[in-house]
Amino acid sequence: MTFTHRFDPTCLRAYDIRGTVGRTLRVEDAYAIGRTFGSIVARAGGRRIVIGYDGRLSSPSLEHALVAGAMASGMDVLRIGCGPTPMLYFASAELEADGAIMVTGSHNPPDHNGFKLLLANRPFFGDDIQHLGQMAASGDVVAETVGTVRDADIRPAYVDRLLRDIDGTGRPLNVVWDNGNGAAGDVISLLVKRLPGRHHVLNARIDGSFPAHHPDPTVAKNLQQLIAAVRADGADLGIAFDGDADRIGVVDNTGGILWGDQLLVVLARDVLRDHPGATVIADIKASQTLFDEIDRAGGRPLMWKTGHSLIKAKMAETGAPLAGEMTGHIFFADKWYGFDDALYAALRLLDIVSHLKGPLSDVRLALPQTINTPELRFECAEARKFDVIAEVAARLEKSGASVSCIDGVRVTTPNGWWLLRASNTQAVLVARVEAETHAGLERLKAELGTQLAQSGVRAPDFTAAASGA
């Protein structure tokens, strides 16, 4: 039987394949991904694919179809079941798999789902995903055959490996964990039983309807339950995860939030003690404070493009032992595999906090204080968004402004900086503004608004309260 399949083009994203279940994403798409990606692996001389899935209600049926498609391309499929995305990455690395696919909607709404892929333990993204879509549409796949499938419980081995790099010599901690009903629930339950100190797990049950709150720890309202529990418990810190546990959120002993760039400061100081002069990578949305603190700690700060696949590729290129994003993706290549694993990042943080002379809040409050906006996302037509960035960049460069065009435009001024970039996954522009004073922040907002107006775009709502960083 001839195989061809056309994906809804909105599903083929920059970093993964993702859509709304029943509208732009269906089980037929899952089968096609398995059939086509399996063909890519086969033509590269491979045969073994590891497949896992998250706790979303649609994930089991998508996983079933995905496995069937991979087997039809002759793959030997290892099914690791429901768990966090980094557990799939771990399984792929440890087993030296030829390919790996995770069924996950990450932090997106409950009716969304998608697929993250690895080819020979390297991120499969960008042009790779577009090529997969073209192969499916043209029927460019290997001849149908029958592969094999077996199930494996990788969780005990994953937990063992997570714990291996923790020295355990610090003081016992009181920690609150918020699984957010995400895919890491079973792993967290196994993990905390083996950690010293007291551990209270919120929303441990895996439930794809996310009854407690949305599983995105970068949004302050989603951390309120955790903050309340930390304060009520007198805990040393609280840790939250997104739906597939590749992103972390942290609150200190007072309930104060450590945003992604602040967390990276804490982790970088520790890593740089063992790797003086090493490169530490952060995405272009991070605070200038982060880059300054990496430099002050003896590291080489490197600003890079937003996107977990892009960061991982840059880490491999530069040999950086650590990287992170404002979104809470933390990547350790120091003692770890270089992929984003929020559970591993949490354990490394616990180790650091257990050796602090004071509370974690002292570290947060000692950081230079700036004033910044949240990440502002506002609609811009797909066909127009990249043109707007190009127009703004051209005007700024002509004016002699200090501009970085690594990913969008980041403009540095004596008052601070502002960023404008096009989302790689949605028809939106993204802006962020940071300054040392409220007056400076207002001047930078006005500059950004002027540039947007000159390109015929309405400025985002700046009335949202600015936050310290």
In a shared domain, residues 31 and 147: yes
For tokens 């440890």, what's the residue? 94
Please give the Cα distance from 200 to 189 (Å, whole number). 10
Whether the predicted pLDDT of 426 surpasses 90: no
Of the residues 59, 106, 287, 354, only one is catalytic, namely 106
Please give the Cα distance from 181 to 241 (Å, whole number). 9
At residue 376, the 3 state secondary structure works out as strand
Is there a domain that residue 17 lies in? yes
pTM of the model: 0.95
At residue 413, the 3 state secondary structure works out as strand
pLDDT band at residue 463 under the 50/70/90 scheme: low
More confident residue, 192 or 414: 192
Please give the Cα distance from 189 to 230 (Å, whole number). 18
Are residues 219 and 195 in contact, defined by beta-carbon separation less than 8 angstroms? no
Name the domain boundary from 122, 154, 186.
154
In a shared domain, residues 277 and 377: no
Name the domain boundary from 87, 121, 154.
154
Name the domain boundary from 366, 384, 405.
366
Output the pLDDT for position 177.
98
Output the pLDDT for position 119.
98
Query: What tens digit of pLDDT does each residue of 390-408 get?
Result: 999 999 999 988 999 999 9
Please give the Cα distance from 191 to 185 (Å, whole number). 10
Output the pLDDT for position 466.
44
Per the prediction, the chain carries an average pLDDT of: 95
Output the pLDDT for position 374.
82
CATH number for position 386: 3.30.310.50
In a shared domain, residues 143 and 180: no
Please give the Cα distance from 323 to 262 (Å, whole number). 12
pLDDT band at residue 376 under the 50/70/90 scheme: confident
Output the pLDDT for position 79.
98
Q: What is the mean pLDDT of residues 17-28?
A: 97
Output the pLDDT for position 229.
98
Is there a domain that residue 97 lies in? yes
Q: What is the mean pLDDT of residues 218-241?
A: 97
Is there a domain that residue 163 lies in? no
Is there a domain that residue 161 lies in? no
Is there a domain that residue 434 lies in? yes
Residue ranges making up the domain that contains 105:
9-154
In a shared domain, residues 375 and 362: no
Query: What tens digit of pLDDT does each residue of 144-163 get?
Result: 999 999 999 999 999 999 99
pLDDT band at residue 465 under the 50/70/90 scheme: very low
pLDDT band at residue 413 under the 50/70/90 scheme: very high
378, with CB counted inside 10 A (0-12, 13-18, 19+), is middle
Lowest pLDDT segment from 72-76, 424-428, 436-440: 424-428
In a shared domain, residues 361 and 391: no
Residue 260 has φ and ψ, to the nearest 5°, of -55, -40
In a shared domain, residues 346 and 198: yes
Query: What tens digit of pLDDT does each residue of 342-373 get?
Result: 999 999 999 999 999 999 999 999 999 899 98
To the query of whether residue 92 is one of the catalytic residues in this protein, the response is no
In a shared domain, residues 111 and 243: no
Output the pLDDT for position 459.
84
Is there a domain that residue 160 lies in? no
In a shared domain, residues 182 and 321: yes
Number of domains in the chain: 3
Residue 342 has φ and ψ, to the nearest 5°, of -70, -30
Q: How big is the chain, counted in residues? A: 469
In a shared domain, residues 194 and 341: yes
In a shared domain, residues 463 and 330: no
Whether the predicted pLDDT of 4 surpasses 90: yes
Is there a domain that residue 1 lies in? no
CATH number for position 64: 3.40.120.10
Output the pLDDT for position 462.
72
Is there a domain that residue 329 lies in? yes
pLDDT band at residue 1 under the 50/70/90 scheme: low
In a shared domain, residues 344 and 406: no
Whether the predicted pLDDT of 469 surpasses 70: no
